[in-house]
A = this chain, B = another copy of it.
């Protein structure tokens, strides 16, 4: 892999996830805080109109508009679909992008702590996960490598290397200092990693580490007409990345009943009760725990 030269740090892809937006303001005022010798770093405020209106999005979720097909489809022309094409023109085009590496900054209402989401599992990303966990033992690494970068619909997939920094718990439209501090530390740690990578100066990475890989999403309980009839069980609430085994309660019905986990694998829930996922009636993502081995 070539060296990383052009880096984009993106905030405000969702207008009510405030940490990235306020960090961008800070870094735009003091670019020396982000600067690294080997890197040319630009900052991008992805969805300013949604921020103005204090909403996740105006017309549709911006962070679902970046497949190669969607970007090429000029009939997709609402606000976020247009922003996606504008951002792709600025940082891309996807498949042959000006940006070598994108860091996209997000918040979640889920108790995920500082989570690094990696979109493919190549050596660069595996090493990044190792480095981030070494510097931030409280962090979690999730591989969302179930599809190729071309098929990924995330903004960070415009470049051939891209990551999502996902920090919670933070209510929508709030700034928490602990969450902001985690996001700042993780972003700086990632940039340190890229700088060391460019200089062939990465040393003493652990040979292996635990991480998670996305498997499936669970829906909130619905009746036959699509009405929501239950909620995330209090045993699961806030227990992101704590294992679920068959028979564990996962949903509490409003009428008092319970629904238990019936999967045949030890599942690691995350994005538990994320506010934004109610649009699609999603309750949580399930992952598997994996061991990542570094090879060289």
Do residues B176 and A254 form an inter-chain contact, with CB atoms below 8 A?
Answer: no
**CB of A232 within 8 Å of the partner chain:** yes
Q: Is the CB of A178 within 8 A of B26?
A: no
For this chain, the copies found in one complex come to 2
Tell me whether A172 and B175 are in contact (CB under 8 A): no
Which B residues are in CB contact (< 8 Å) with A169?
171
Shortest distance from the beta carbon of A17 to any chain B beta carbon, whole Å:
12
Main secondary structure, interface of A, reads loop
Say yes or no: is A265 at the interface (Cβ < 8 Å to chain B).
no
Interface membership of A126, Cβ < 8 A: no
Q: Inside 8 A of A231's CB, which chain B residues have their CB? A: 22, 175-177, 180
**Cα of A261 to Cα of B237 in the assembled complex, Å:** 34
Q: Are A25 and B177 in contact (CB under 8 A)?
A: no
In the bound complex, do residue A177 and residue B275 qualify as a contact, i.e. CB atoms below 8 Å apart? Answer: no
Q: How many residues of A are in contact with the other chain, CB < 8 A? A: 27
Whether a CB of chain B sits under 8 angstroms from the CB of A124 is no
A254 contact from B26, B109, B171, B278, Cβ within 8 A: B26
Check: A233 CB closer than 8 A to any chain B CB. Answer: yes
Q: Name the residue in A22, A54, A174, A275 with the highest tally of chain B Cβ atoms < 10 Å from its Cβ.
A: A174
Chain A positions within 8 Å of B, measured between CB atoms, are: 22, 25-26, 54, 109, 169, 171-178, 180-181, 231-234, 237, 252, 254-255, 273, 275, 278
- 5 residue pairs of the A-B complex, CB under 8 angstroms, read A176-B231, A176-B234, A177-B234, A177-B237, A178-B234
